[in-house]
Amino acid sequence: MTSKKQIFCVFLLHLTIIAGGQSITREKANSLLLQLEKTPADTGRLKILVELGKFHIYKPGEAKSDLDSAFFYLEDAKKLNKNLKSEKWDFEIESVIAIGTMEKGEDQQGHALVADLINRFRKKGDNEAKEAEAALRFKFGIWLSTKVKNYPEVLDNYNQAMALYKETKNQEQEIRVLKETAIIHLNQGNLDLAEIELEDVIRRYKMINYKRLHYAYDLLSAVNRLKGNLNKALDYSLKSLESMENTHDTVLAANFYASLGRVNLEIGNRQKGMEWYKKAVEKWRSQGFPSFAMFYAAGVIVQELISQVKPKDGLRFIFTLSRDVPPLTQIQKGCIAQNLAYCYEALGNYREAEKLYLEMMRWYKQTGNDLEATQRAPYDIGKFYLHQKQFTKAGYYLRSALAFDPQKNELAIIKDIHLMLFAVDSAEGHFLSAIDHFRQHKLLNDSIFNEKKSRQIEELQIKYETVKKEQDIRLLQNINNSQQISLHEADTVKKLTFLGLALLLVILFLLNYQYQVKKRNNKEIKEKNSALQQLVKEKEWLVKEIHHRVKNNLQLIISLFNAQSEFLDNPSAIEAINKARERMQSIALIHQKLYLPNQENLINVASYLTDMISHLKSSLANVAHIAFNLDINNINLDVSQGVPVGLILNEAITNSIKHAFPENRKGTIFVSLKDEGENLVLTIKDNGIGFATQCETSECASLGIQLIKLFSEQLEGALSIQNDQGAEISLSFKPQYFDNPVE
């Protein structure tokens, strides 16, 4: 069964902390068990029992034994509280039980417990009840985000929690919920908004003198790494480590080490990167607690061993690690298969490597997530097939990796995918496409590693090394003052100080030399590719101009329709013109999006549908009573399929708006587009009065329905039109760019 906690990890190495369980580790749990034996039946014992219950609920994986243990401790806490009669602890225990009930898979019962508790809190109405409701909404919001990724409901619960904490003047908890809100926006790919919110979190924490800023700093580092701002990513990662050390809050030290290791690798400082990754894995390993972050970091170490021509050492390392700390979840098992595949590929056992890469893809697919890891997986198998010169398979997997929303994935990976697709298209004779991929690789590479950023990164590294040296010097001085060391020892300290300064000078010299070499190489590459870039610009301009002219011509036709309708009195003719205008507008919107910078011949359906609904709301009368519920996966469609899908959406949504809710009755239009294996399933449903009976058969005379059937045939899809507590149109079709390669 897929771990809900593991799905919630939006970053490869960032661990989101479940509400209420931030400081609960295996070591802490063992310590609490020892305390439990000696603690009398008072509130101290009650607190220990609740903390142990949380520990077993929030552990990765869903082992029945863990959940049984959780409810054992929580039921014991309930019995104890009957004597203590603490309403505050009663609220806390019942809230954790509600989350645990849903964790067991009893969603309906858990939701009922949550609703009942909220009613109790609101009837009581004092500050204690408001705090309890805020805490429950926070826990419930996190559970929703991990279980069903119902982000609108998650954000609604978070907003209500923040409002309640604001009422009770609990600024620390209010800011904490804001931090989790930023994580949701990061999950959605809204990096700019997440960055603004996290900067606000830091500012507000400082205002209340809250010291543990490292969690927010680590998130800001991840945001900037994904955006390609590696200098800022490094700065925030160093600040995160500094804050952790200053506050002695080392519960998640391994995560912060791994984050710093990853940023160092991205900026090209491989030695430092590997030092931090090894430190992170050792920390995780000592805790004996499996996590995807640990297995991913282990994979980075394996790839380093492979680069040193030590694949057998890598193989032994992964086998030993997975034996000492066995994986629990599907995403962890997928990562183990991924790491073993690296080793077997390096050993030349390509059949076993391919088998493991495909096993990796199956595990990741079963998790049902859309995280960075699910982009890395097709990236790795695509790279493998490229090395095997199986270009069709390589192109298939690399393009599927590129189809992810770029805002959710780091630019460093995207630029490498473009470079590999340049090789694939060149080998297959698609030279214009190859040139375009090379251009995008070059643009991304230049944006990440320009001279200014390289200089800032080097300055940050020097600053960090200098601060560490100063700390070492102060430590030696403190030892000298406190222990009154001998003259001989003082001389040793002085020598060590000068040695440190000498090493710092050597580091400065090497960094400057590296910078000069990089600057010279960049200049040579720029000169060699100037002619190529000019050809690319001309080709890009031509394609964009075509889309621009198509869009302008369609807008001209729309304007003619508008002008013509002003001179008509016949309602039927006006309605026919208005319908034709809306169909033209849906096509024009597609070409407008293709005219935007950095767009390929692909339409992002979620973005397109949002714009279409906004247009329909502004152009059609009486739509204020209708709500829209969208559940659209991050899916890009080729323009050849984007146009008929857009027209189907236009016909179905317009039909629901005009006919489903007579006399302005309130209603909802539901639109979903899901990736279900090899096919995409598009569903447009409303809770209105439904279709006429004949529209469920082939006898419906409606032009809109006939057009929907025509466009469905164009997509070679299976169409279903039925009444199901309202009208429902469902279409299953195969995306054009997902032709399965021969395996």
Please report the DSSP string for 358-396 in residue order: HHHHHHHHHHT--SHHHHHHHHHHHHHHHHTT-HHHHHH
Buried b (16+ CB within 10 A) or exposed e, 706-725: ebbbebbebbebebebeeee
Strand, coil or helix: 146: helix
Between the CA atoms of 18, 19, 22 and 24, what dihedral angle is there, to the nearest 10 degrees? -80
Per-position DSSP letters for 419-451, written without gaps between them: HHHHHHHHHTT-HHHHHHHHHHHHHHHHHHS-H
Cβ pair 331, 376 in contact under 8 A: no
Look at the pTM and tell me if it is higher than 0.75: no
Q: Show Cβ contacts of residue 170 under 8 Å, excluding neighbours closer than 6 positions.
A: 131, 134
- pLDDT given at position 412: 72
d(CA 199, CA 607): 27
- pLDDT given at position 338: 93
Give CA 122 to chain center in angstroms. Answer: 34
Closest among 663, 644, 649, 670 to 727, alpha carbons compared: 670
- pLDDT given at position 544: 53
Cβ pair 663, 688 in contact under 8 A: no
Q: Phi and psi (nearest 5°) for 109?
A: -65, -40
Instruction: Output the six-digit token pair for 34.
Output: 């020892």
Burial environment of residue 200 by CB neighbours within 10 A (0 to 12, 13 to 18, 19 or more): middle
Instruction: Output the six-digit token pair for 314.
Output: 């890598």
Q: From edge to edge, which strands make up the β-sheet containing 626-632? A: 626-632, 667-676, 679-686, 727-733, 718-723
- pLDDT given at position 732: 92
d(CA 655, CA 304): 58
Strand, coil or helix: 602: strand
| Conformational region of residue 329, where left means phi above 0, alpha means psi within -120 to 50, and beta covers everything else | beta
pLDDT averages per 10-residue partition of the chain, 743 residues: 33 35 60 82 86 78 73 87 85 86 85 90 90 91 77 90 94 94 87 94 95 94 86 90 91 90 84 90 86 89 90 93 89 92 94 94 76 74 92 90 62 83 86 83 71 52 55 50 48 56 62 65 62 55 53 53 54 64 60 52 76 72 80 81 82 84 88 88 90 62 76 86 88 70 36
- pLDDT given at position 288: 81
- pLDDT given at position 58: 73
Question: What do you get for the CA distance between the two ends of the chain, in Å?
Answer: 27
Burial environment of residue 287 by CB neighbours within 10 A (0 to 12, 13 to 18, 19 or more): middle
| Cα–Cα distances in angstroms (integers) from residue 558 to residues 586, 589, 650, in the given order | 11, 12, 15
Strand, coil or helix: 669: strand
